[in-house]
Amino acid sequence: MKVEITDKDEKGVSCDALILPVFDDEREPYREIDKELGRSIRGVVSSGEFKAKHLDTCIIHTMGRIRPERLLLMGLGGRRDCTDHRIRECGGKAASVSMEHGLKVLALSTGTLRRHGLSPVPFAEGVGLGGYRFTKYKEAGGGTEIEMLSILSAEERGLSESIEFVRRSTETVGLVRDLVNTPSNDLTPSGLAGFAEGLGSRRLKVKTLDSRDAAREGMGGFLSVSKGSKEEPRFVLLEYRGGRRGPVVLIGKSVTFDSGGISLKPSEGMEKMKYDMAGGAAVLGVMKFVSEMRLPLHLYGILPATENLPGGSAAKPGDVVRTVSGKTVEIISTDAEGRLTLADAIGYSRRFNPEAIIDIATLTGACSVALGNEAIAMMGNDKELMAMMQKASELSGERVWQMPLYDEYREYLKSDIADLKNSAGRTGSLVTAGYFLKEFAAGTPWVHLDIASTAWSDKDRPCVPKGASGAGVRLLINFLKEYIK
């Protein structure tokens, strides 16, 4: 999708639809335009057909009386409730309604927003997010992509930069959604590594370790997960050196399919476990974005990519493995595989002397038991980093909720024969997963984001069509922006 800022006026802009945001208490919105249209807007408002509640829409044909072919009235709801978050959702809704009707060229009127001190930027962001469709496996011709969004506004300080920022970040979200929606037969660990290598450039270095390299590094946790699969694991390392700040390490869980292994998952819903690499995909997206936008910091990305399958050579409950850090882990459940891969990634990353480690992972089913699908669970060992993440959460609208890592949880993970066990069972399993990782971060400032709750949506939402959401991408981008301030 192209986005332009233009000082053309509403009546004179050629487009399939002119989007007109309306508050719910306006009785004669857009009077100037409405005069040309024989009072059609007032008609749908006074008849109650269009109430301008948040996310209400109404399409009116202009019959050639002005340049836009249609008006898309977009309900903002109440003036007092109107936040950037709600405006973003309006953008998302406007995108899906437009796509349903095959409208590809859009223009956005910004006067109403402006008069309330509101920015059109989140609206444009919403259009970018809500306009996504996954069409790779559908016969061609099914989808109508939005080609253009013209923002009707005078150029003002910072506007085009902000628009370019959200255009690129939403594009990145689309790329990440594509990766996560892709089934595991088409996105194997080596496929994911290949994709990462394709992102490599002079500024973004990419290096991949295979299973022999990983064995040499002592990654017994990571390798134990991969043993049941014929697909070779790949430990992908990305490095972007854009400045002296940092280094910051981003680690993304990259289990391209999680069957549970010998601790096999129930078959119902197992098809969704292709999304167990959503953390890794988010990290790839963020690395690409950061290197293209040349943010001034030193950043590493790590994707320990593997499948988790049962088989004659798979790891078994009761097995003990040795991780990079030297700590041994007793495998209670082969389905608690993510933390084994992350333990080695965290352990490995400490050689970079990171200022901060952020991991992002679809780590526990308990995450959605606790939060539904409305927030990312955050844990960590550093207040300042978590405060920055909260700030990024507000900026991005990606909700984050902090969970505790009390010392008492250490008990839960005690093994009779090894340093730790990988599962403490159901009790507190969201936080014991976090606590397990904390043991490997040791003294390094670290934040854990469990996106099992938000990385997949079972229903259409204004800014997230059903399927992979791209969770964490905009959160992490905003986090890094905060970090370098």
397/375 Cα distance (integer angstroms): 10
Interface pattern 206-245 for Mn ion (x via CB under 5 A): ----------------------------------------
Give 363 or 447: the residue with its C-beta nearer to ligand BES: 363
Q: Which of residues 266-285 bind Zn ion (CB under 5 A)?
A: 276
Catalytic residue among 168, 245, 265, 272: 265
363/136 Cα distance (integer angstroms): 27
Which residue, among 366, 375, 371, has the nearest Cα to 396 in the 3D structure? 375
Q: Is 265 an annotated catalytic residue?
A: yes
Which residue, among 473, 471, 467, has the nearest Cα to 454 in the 3D structure? 471
> What 8-state DSSP symbol labels residue 30?
T
Give 329 or 336: the residue with its C-beta nearer to ligand BES: 336
The 10 Å Cβ neighbour count of residue 244 is: 9
CB of 237 to ligand BES, least distance (A): 22
| Residue 423 touches which member of ligand BES, Mn ion, Zn ion, none, C-beta under 5-8 Å by kind | ligand BES
Footprint on this chain of ligand BES (rule: CB under 6 A): 258, 276, 333, 335-338, 362-366, 423, 429, 452
482/479 Cα distance (integer angstroms): 5
CB of 273 to ligand BES, least distance (A): 6
| Residue 334 touches which member of Zn ion, Mn ion, ligand BES, none, C-beta under 5-8 Å by kind | none
Burial 44-79 (b: 16+ CB within 10 A, else e): bbeeeebebebbbbbebebeeebbbbbbbbbbbbee
The 10 Å Cβ neighbour count of residue 250 is: 29
Q: Is 322 an annotated catalytic residue?
A: no
By CB under 5 A, which span of 15-23, 195-203, 237-245, 336-344 interacts with Mn ion?
336-344
**How many Å is the maximal CA-CA distance in the chain?**
82
Give 68 or 434: the residue with its C-beta nearer to Mn ion: 434
Question: By CB under 5 A, is residue 439 in contact with Zn ion?
Answer: no
> What 8-state DSSP symbol labels residue 309?
-
| Residue 364 touches which member of Mn ion, Zn ion, ligand BES, none, C-beta under 5-8 Å by kind | ligand BES
Q: Annotated catalytic sites, by residue? A: 265, 339
Given the rule CB under 5 A, which residues bind Mn ion?
258, 335, 337
Given the rule CB under 5 A, which residues bind Zn ion?
255, 258, 276, 338
